[in-house]
A and B are shown apart, each in its own frame.
Chain A
Amino acid sequence: MSELVQSLTKVRQSISPYLYLFILLGGISVWALTQGAYQISWFSVLQTTGYSLDQDIIMDVRLPRLLMAMLVGTTLAVSGALMQALFRNPLADPGLLGIAAGASVAVGLLIVFGEHWQFLQQVEWLKPYTSSFAAFIGATITCSVIFRLSKNQGKVSVLHLLLAGIAINAIAGSATGLLTYISSDEQLRALTFWAMGNLGGARWEHVFTLASLLSPMLIFLVIKSQQLNLLLLGEEEARYLGLDVERFKGQIVLVVALLVGVAVAFSGLIGFIGLMVPHLVRMMFGSDNRLVVPCSAILGAALLTSADTVARILVIPAELPVGLVTSLLGGPFFLWLLMRNIKGGQ
């Protein structure tokens, strides 16, 4: 058995990780485009010229949704990799800081009280974006609160960051509960559905907005990935190696808040991608963050695309919220990870 694992590892090492992951992503993408309530052949997917119903469905519905799933998957996976490096803890997850929960409270407020706000009713063009904006604002507010709470004598303390995150998660949980309690039946349905995570509303303009927000952050992170490695040694050790640790941690926390806020804004709460993907990457290609960050970006895209496709085809003609699928896969994975760590004495 161990020989098999060794030879598989050798095969993997000989192929460039990026090539391996891009082939995987490409295959999953073609599969995702063919699947759904209306079946499309592989041939039509790869055909780029001509006009047909198939082409319409791909261009207007499936391609924006596919790209949206990829972008959100990338965002969640990369923020997971960042959290784990920052906390020096393999069990850290973007939900940990309470940023996602903060964003969901803002959306909850909008769903329950939105109809009373005259301003929102009058500006017609704003309507499709309101929940996204609310989530983004919620994430930013939560992030600044957490960051302020976690500053101890001018330094960002990871322990305080974690404790502040726990407190924020508790507060946000109660607030969401309260909103659920006072909401009408229709609002309750909207609230619950959003909280389970969904990529159904994907449109081209969403894809462009998300891509323009994400690309600069991803480039920044790939440049900074060697410095993330220094944090693995410990904060004091990283400082001895010339890293301005306080400044760098501040930058990373800000980037994570933006990434998670953006992802929640566009797709609701989708769990466990941030936890699972960096782990899978580490198992396949090692723990060097110069590989973990970009590879998580690609694998995150592939994994969320698969989960979303499964969510679309499992109960045709209806579809499941993708957050349910990722949690169903991710929950057991998390437990397995925990057991492995306990057995390994970590």
Chain B
Amino acid sequence: MLKVTQLSYQHQRDTLLSDITFDLLAGELLVVLGPNGAGKSTLLKCCAGTLKPSQGSIHLNNTTLEQWPLNELAQSRAVLTQQLSIPFALRVHEVVSLGLSPWSLTIKEQDKAITDVLNMVGMAHFSDRVFNSLSGGEQQRVQLARVLVQLLAHGEQDLTGKLLFLDEPISALDLQQQQIVMRLLKTMTERGMSIFCVLHDLNLATLYADTLLIIERGETVYYATPSKMHHTSVVENTYKADLIQIDHSEKPLPQWQFRH
């Protein structure tokens, strides 16, 4: 699906990413973690095609990223950045409909696709509200609906070959909404979608991710399944925080608590 090989990125003289290699398979949820300024968003922008890597290659379905025509790329990969604001008073359904612009659908098909994704993120009753009047969390869910509809335009069940990039998609959400969104992402991967998600919450990440990629100062420090992190001090060393590792009470997965 997405194959990143020995990727490096330099800006002026600073090396922001060096020698990063990973594979994102169909139906896999890859969560990227790391301290502030580690290069998570830079990695996302390289893989999504905004930044051109200084070295290394990025292949999407065996074709290098640059060779993808813009519109075809937009039909198979969507990106949710941290930029949420919209300068004019667009309504929620108008914002979501922008996600359908790579497709040519009838108005009826558009309406159905928009209602479906708004239902998924629990925002259907806000459809006519002005986007700017919503809270930060609500705006985040609407923008998530916009990138989902870009990949689910035809309501297809099999989402193999679709790739979703998310940059901290739950940063403004309350606990209930965080869980709803993470479960939603999980159902998407079960239908074949590949998801590259930057997160800050370690516990949520280990609970839902198929694979974790932890980077620090632009270098890979951990790339494996979450369960392999058991009884290692990767997290403590990377974040340099005073933490206690415990077991999740339902699953054999590590979780972390702050030391008092």
Contact = CB atoms under 8 A, between A and B. Distances in A.
Contacts of A242: 70-71, 73-75, 101-102
A241 B99 contact: yes
Interface stretch (A97-105, A158-166, A201-209, A226-234): A226-234
B83 A229 contact: no
B86 A232 contact: yes
A139 to B, nearest CB: 27
Interface string A222-245: 000011011011101101111110
A151 interface: no
Interface stretch (A16-24, A167-175, A281-289): A281-289
Interface in B165-186: none
Contacts of B49: 239
A236 B74 contact: no
B227 interface: no
A88 B81 contact: no
Contact of B90 (A234, A239, A241, A287): A287
A232 B91 CA distance: 13
Given A230-B98, A242-B70, A242-B74, A237 B81 contact: yes
Interface range on chain A (Cβ under 8 Å from partner): 20 to 34
Interface string B47-82: 011100000000000000000001101110111010
Interface size class of B (residues with CB under 8 A): 20 to 34
Interface string A128-167: 0000000000000000000000000000000000000000
Contact of B78 (A88, A230, A240, A286): A240
B102 A287 contact: no
A89 interface: yes
A336 to B, nearest CB: 17
Contacts of A84: 88
B105 interface: no
A241 B101 contact: yes
Most buried by A among B50, B95, B98: B98
Contacts of A200: none
Contacts of A234: 81, 83
A287 B101 contact: no
Contacts of A114: none
A243 B78 CA distance: 13
A241 B81 contact: no
B89 A241 contact: no
Among B70, B75, B150, max chain A CB count under 10 A is at B70
A147 to B, nearest CB: 22
29 contacts: A89-B87, A229-B101, A232-B88, A232-B90, A233-B95, A236-B81, A236-B83, A237-B79, A237-B81, A237-B83, A239-B49, A240-B79, A240-B81, A241-B74, A241-B98, A241-B102, A241-B150, A242-B71, A242-B75, A243-B70, A243-B101, A282-B88, A282-B89, A286-B90, A286-B91, A286-B94, A287-B90, A287-B94, A288-B90
Given A236-B50, A237-B79, 13 more contacts: A84-B88, A229-B101, A232-B87, A232-B90, A232-B98, A239-B70, A241-B74, A241-B102, A241-B150, A242-B73, A242-B75, A243-B70, A286-B90
Interface of B: 48-50, 70-71, 73-75, 77-79, 81, 83, 86-91, 94-95, 98-99, 101-102, 150
Interface of A: 84, 88-90, 226-227, 229-230, 232-234, 236-237, 239-244, 282, 286-288
7 cross-chain pairs, A with B, having the tightest CB-CB distances, nearest first: A242-B74, A287-B88, A242-B71, A240-B79, A242-B102, A88-B87, A242-B70
